[in-house]
């Protein structure tokens, strides 16, 4: 296991008691993605000596993160945050021009997408996301296939697991998480 990133604990802000500042930590890290890995401030252990992460505000410079290819050609992501217990997640997803989801499908939770750039179209309905568009696909709602008419970057959020079963277009089960 890799040692967690350790940086000095920041000083207590003015107007905040030392007790409040000392107790201002999250639950033990049960998260994955880039955010938790970049937010640890110091090593903290519980009474049994188990390492806990200490979290405060988290700032990611998404341009510093690598795009990670998925097994669907033309799709990559920058995973920002995931709650491994619930499957909820936040990621930047990028579809290259001509890529898209190849078939009709539904999700096991609500899907929210905000288009940062590009043109991303839901083919059966003609609904097209462009810069500034917000899209909500309610849990269980059938949609797709889709096509990126140009390279498209979307902020994608799920409030639970992505799919009820692994879609056939992914050969790696991790891509369906």
Domain ranges of the chain: 26-58, 62-176
pTM of the model: 0.77
Q: What is the pLDDT of residue 61?
A: 87
d(CA 142, CA 137): 9
CATH architecture of the region 62-176: Sandwich (2.60)
Q: What is the pLDDT of residue 109?
A: 97
132: left (phi over 0), alpha (psi -120 to 50) or beta: left
Q: What is the pLDDT of residue 130?
A: 98
> Residues near 160 by Cβ (< 8 Å), separated by ≥ 6?
86, 87, 88, 108, 109, 110, 139
Mean pLDDT by 10 residues, the chain (177 residues): 51 74 60 65 66 64 93 96 91 98 96 98 96 96 96 98 92 89
Residue 136 contacts residue 112 (beta carbons within 8 Å):
yes
d(CA 105, CA 112): 15
């Amino acid at each position: 296991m890799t040692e967690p990133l350790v940086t000095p604990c920041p000083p207590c802000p003015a107007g905040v008691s030392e007790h409040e500042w000392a107790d201002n930590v999250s639950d033990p890290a049960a998260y994955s993605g880039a955010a938790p890995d970049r937010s640890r401030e110091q090593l903290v252990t519980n009474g049994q000596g188990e390492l806990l992460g200490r979290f405060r505000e988290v700032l990611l410079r998404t341009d510093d993160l690598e795009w990670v290819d998925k097994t669907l050609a033309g799709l990559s992501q920058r995973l920002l945050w995931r709650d491994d217990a619930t499957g909820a997640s936040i990621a930047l997803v990028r579809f290259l021009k001509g890529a898209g989801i190849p078939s009709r499908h539904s999700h096991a939770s609500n899907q929210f997408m905000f288009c940062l750039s590009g043109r991303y179209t839901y083919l059966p309905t003609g609904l097209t996301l462009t810069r500034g568009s917000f899209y909500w696909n309610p849990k269980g709602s059938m949609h797709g296939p889709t096509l990126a008419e140009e390279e498209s970057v979307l902020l994608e959020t799920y409030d639970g697991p992505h799919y009820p079963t692994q879609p056939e277009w992914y050969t790696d089960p991790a891509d369906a998480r």
